[in-house]
Amino acid sequence: MTAATFVLDPLLPPADADAVVDIVEQFPGYGLYAVEKSASAFAADVPQRIDAVMNHVRSGRRAGRAESPDLLVARTNYLRETFAYGDDVRAPGIERLWHHEGLAEAARELFGRPVVEPAIVYANILLPGQELAVHTDVPEFRGANRKVTPQWLIVVMHQSGLFEPWRMPIATAVTYFGRDGAGRPDGGALAYWPDGPDGAVHRLATGHNTGILLDTDTVYHGVERLGPPDAVPPTLRAANVLEHDGAAWQLRPERGSSETLATWGWDEIRVSLSWKAYCFADEAERTAWRTNADDLTVDVILDRLRADLGERGVGPVDDLADAELARLLIDTYQRYPEPVA
């Protein structure tokens, strides 16, 4: 079955789109995206998105792009800052995107669920030579979210189909902004698989004031390499920060520094704003989610998955170390698209 996707072009009225570009420039610096850890003791040493990392390395090898682990890390070491989250608006003026009716309407249609509650807007910035590995986003279930449950496990839960009554469908819009007239960067298209991992890849090129809304928790997607094919990604350190100084994007060693490590124009970097909204069937469902009635726990989730592995003839699983069980679950339920050249 083909997943629904909504391309919004143009996304906002032109003046609002220009205002968003100003907001992006005026935001006080973009740091590296640091993946948060969950509070669960289960498989605490397993990286949060081990599923996507394993696939990235494996598919790179299959496509004949064997790159060193350091280079792979540099390619996906992008920048992220949150603009709005719940009641916390950190980028004043972003409400024009946060509460944009066109996004809410597409979200209602995506799942046929009328109660849409925007949850977050964040900016992702990719630099030349960077890319995003193919993945699905981390979904959310009542009682299982990235604060308390390992991210790869939440992804496996969705792929297994065993927990759908607890799932909170999330609509995601990936929106793109660039300085009008500055030109757009080479590469950096969104690659996505609306017909599933065996279907054809679709591509959406970056274009100022455009966006696409879809279920990124289900539809595999990634971002193709930005810049010319031979672009080498910068080596970034944890304290580095990217700022716009009114003329160009400057990479600084740390916040407060005026030293420049590298400079890019709008035509070289990729700025996307991701918008995510919970989509509830009705107020009763929203209340169950808010009050944590009917929540899953990690123990219940693992018991159900172990039982399903048994039914599939995979196992025995009772004596496996956490990391081995993690790998078995990922290998059993996750199936990525084949790499595209």
Q: How far is the CB of 79 from Fe ion (least distance, A)?
A: 15
Residue whose C-alpha is closest to residue 124's, from 3, 231, 206, 44: 206
> What string marks each residue from 167 to 206 as x (binds Fe ion by CB under 5 A) or -?
----------------------------------------
Q: How far is the CB of 203 from Fe ion (least distance, A)?
A: 15
Which range touches Fe ion (CB under 5 A), out of 76-84, 114-122, 184-192, 212-220? 212-220
Q: How far is the CB of 221 from Fe ion (least distance, A)?
A: 6
Give the nearer residue to Fe ion in terms of CB position, either 81 or 137: 137
Taking CB atoms, the residue at the shortest distance from Fe ion is 137
Task: Determine the residue type at 124.
Answer: N
Place of tokens 């039914």: 311
Give the nearer residue to Fe ion in terms of CB position, either 38 or 216: 216
Is residue 308 within 8 A of residue 163, CB to CB? The reply is: no
Q: How far is the CB of 135 from Fe ion (least distance, A)?
A: 6
Q: Answer positive or negative: Cα dihedral of 51, 40, 154, 30.
A: negative
Give the nearer residue to Fe ion in terms of CB position, either 169 or 250: 169
Q: How far is the CB of 216 from Fe ion (least distance, A)?
A: 5
Give the nearer residue to Fe ion in terms of CB position, either 110 or 251: 110
Token representation of residue 71: 């280079």
Give the nearer residue to Fe ion in terms of CB position, either 137 or 186: 137
Longest dimension (CA), the chain: 61
Give the nearer residue to Fe ion in terms of CB position, either 98 or 220: 220
> What string marks each residue from 218 to 257 as x (binds Fe ion by CB under 5 A) or -?
----------------------------------------
Q: How far is the CB of 269 from Fe ion (least distance, A)?
A: 18
Q: Which positions from 40 through 59 interact with Fe ion, judged by CB under 5 A? A: none
Q: Is 137 in the site for Fe ion (CB under 5 A)?
A: yes
Determine whether 333 is exposed, middle or buried from the number of CB atoms within 10 Å of its CB (0-12, 13-18, 19+): buried
Give the binding site for Fe ion (CB under 5 A): 137, 216
